[in-house]
Structures are given as structure tokens and as C-alpha cells.
A and B are shown apart, each in its own frame.
Chain A
């Protein structure tokens, strides 16, 4: 279980019994900060949850909401976006764009029945390997508590429906 990080709005979820469900998290990391933090965590031999599939993007502002929707539609249980701290964007404004989109997307996803904890935006600078490790573990634990996303429908469900008619 990850240790509580000070100044975090995310409460640490209660411990769950070990089970077979392993969350699949898709992460979009900014090339200039969070991706480097991941690199630093790696070279520092830090251990953290292996559930995160990382996609490197040039800026958190490059993360089109379609990427997030596509990840959920293709089986992700959670999506994490990592960008530079406010004021630190390599392209000056990209992370603010990411923040605005994220706030609206989160609301829209709630309307679509997708729990808030399944999507997360974190500012992690290139030197914050420890914070990176904590965020990875914390995200995985939150999603583990929520369980698999099980988005529907798919073609199989409709095939079943036809049989039922």
C-alpha cells in the first residue's frame, strides 16, 4: 500500500485483499517532465506498480480527449496524464490547456458512468522520481478498488440479445 503523500486531494483507499484483477492503466506522459521522472525512477531502481502502459507525448497539451476516450473504449481501466507543473510548460501554455480539457472531460466521463478516479492529471517534474513512484502506486490502488471498467456494449452482447429474442 502506498504511503500517504502530503497535500494530496486523493484520500488513500482502504486496503483490499489481493485478488486476480490487475488494473490496466494507460498513461500519457509529457516528454519534458513526467517521462523524465519515470526515467529517473527507473535509473534509481525504484519499485512501483507495473500496471501502467506509458505513451510519451511532446506535451500534456498534446493529449487529445479522443486519446483518453479511445483508451477507455479499448479496455483501459484508468487513464493517467502527466505534465509539467503550472508555469513550467516547455511550450508555455500546453499544461493549462491540458488542465482545462481534463476538468471538462472528467465531468463528461461522469455522465458516461465512468468513475472520477479512473482519470487523473498529475504535475510531475523531471526531478520528482519519488512523487512519480507514489502517483503510480496510488493510481493503481484507486483503480483496483473500483474494479474492472467493463464498458459495454460490444458485438457479442448484441449477438446474445438476438438469441434472447
Chain B
């Protein structure tokens, strides 16, 4: 019997939801297991890094990496898995675009460490001890991975063959992607394995979106009783649908919540946040500066809303660091 193709899964800066998606394949996961050999999957199976290191280069057919790159260890693993795999796939928003962890790019490393290890209400750390790469105690020394100032996407660290979008990718997106990969002819390198149209195209409320849509102010979901049939934008909700790739079949909208943009932009848009900003602002009714500002004030956090999943892959990539941070040392 011919050897089955080898597949690996790995996680970096992520929540584990993407691994959950693999399990969400339900019965189909049995077909996957029957078709391939899973040789590395830290969340579910007991293989170690040294097992991967022992493999010959290109031994793995496809590795699915979820999570953004924040630490030196994640970067090393990305390089290692790239070397051992014929195909490397960025799996889910964090490795595709930076994801929720990418919002850390609105801050710098020092303020993140301060917030987490000193200032958070539940923390007791009177001596202000912060993690460091090396620590010596009574002749014993321990090491931790270094923590980067800036969160990066997988594609900004290593060469990536394909991207699977979503936070997490829906089972349908994953299933279709797997069929594409196992089906023989591969799409061009760098393809996002999902349809290339905006979410509005497949939105169940599409027909209720008027041709000339205008908005006087934006409302947050908790501030309004949401009509379950009408286009969410016409109700003043900040829906990322117009600037977000479809393929997920709009589960959020079906759950009566606006799209938050996890699938990223379509191939014709470079910067998802810039595009939704353009779209939403032009829908406003007012022509007078003061009124415009008042209406826009109902979007309390533009950067966090428009780049919720994509700050590291945006044109600016992060908040500008103070000039003093631009000098070394870079890694704590």
C-alpha cells in the first residue's frame, strides 16, 4: 500500500479556535484521517518538535499553521515547518492577517508588559518583575522565547503557499480548501482559498439593502433592537460586509450580528480598514463638518473596528512607535 500523504497542524499566537474547526469537520474528519497521516498536531497529538526536526526536508505534504507571529519561538517553528513542508498554509485570520492578537500593534512591547504583569487589577507584582529571555537562580538557568515589539502575519515571516481565511475558518471553507488541495491541480501560489467577492453578495439580507443608502449615525449592537430581516447597515450598524471577503455564508448576520471582517479583504482591496472607512464615511448624510464629526463620533474606535482582524497586514502595519523605541534592544 502506498504511503499516505503527511499533514501537520501547528499553532502560534492564537486562541485554539482554528484547531476546533478541524474537529468541526465532524464525520468528514474521518475521511481526512483516512486520506492522510497527521504527523504533528500539538493541541491533539503527542509529537514533539524533535520529531519534526528529524524528518527530511519537504517530508510533509501540507502544514496548516494558525496564529500570528509574536515570539522568537513562533518564528523558529514557522521556519522549521516551512523547511519540512511542500505546502505551507496560513490557516485562519491570525496567520492570514494578524487576527485579534494583531491588535497589540496599537501598543508597544513595554506598555503591553506593564499592563499584563504590573497594572492589571488581578496582578500582585510589587517588585515589578517582567519576563526576560534568560533567568539565573542558584546556578539553574531558564529561558523563555523573546517577545517581539510587533505582531506579524505568517506570510510576513515565511513564504506561504495558500491562505485559508476566517476566525475561525468555517467547516465549509476548510472542506472546500481540502478538496482543492487533494484534488490535483493547485491554484496559483498565494491564493486565498475562498470565494473572491464581498460578503454582501451572499448575505441573506442583500435584497433589503437600498440602492441609495444613507446613514445619520452609527449604533452599536447593544444600543438598538435589531430587525432580523433588514440590511444591518440601513439600521445604522457598523457592518464590515462591504469590505470583507465572503465564503463564510454570513453566520454572524444570520445570528443577527454585524460582520466584523474576519475573512479579510477581497483580492482587489489592499487595505480592508481603509476601504470600509471609505465606504462608511461616504454613506453619511451630513455635509457640514460639525455634524459629520458628531455622526462619526458614534464610531468610538475606528482603528480597532476597521482592523479588528487585519492590523499587521494593513498598509501601516502598526501604530507608529515613539522614535526612541526604534533603537535596539528590540527583544526582551
Interface residues, chain B, CB within 8 Å of chain A? 72, 106, 133, 146, 148-150, 152, 269-271, 273-275, 277-278, 280-282, 284, 286-287, 289, 292-293, 296, 299, 301-304, 306, 314-321, 323, 326, 328-331
Contacts and interface: CB of A to CB of B under 8 A. Distances in A.
A108 B315 contact: no
Interface string A85-120: 010000000001101110111011001111000000
Contact of B274 (A64, A111, A160, A161): A64
B282 A164 contact: no
A165 interface: yes
Contacts of A114: 316, 320
A96 B318 contact: no
A128 B302 CA distance: 35
A113 B321 contact: yes
A165 B331 contact: yes
Range class of the A interface residue count? 35 or more
Contacts of A112: 106, 303, 316, 318-320
Nearest to A64: B278
Interface stretch (A12-20, A34-42, A134-142, A148-156): A148-156
B297 to A, nearest CB: 9
Q: Is the interface of A mostly helix, strand, loop or mixed?
A: helix
B315 A101 contact: no
A65 interface: yes
A72 B320 CA distance: 11
A101 B149 CA distance: 30
Nearest to B297: A107
Contacts of B319: 111-113
Given A66-B315, A114-B316, 6 more contacts: A104-B302, A111-B304, A153-B149, A153-B150, A153-B321, A165-B133
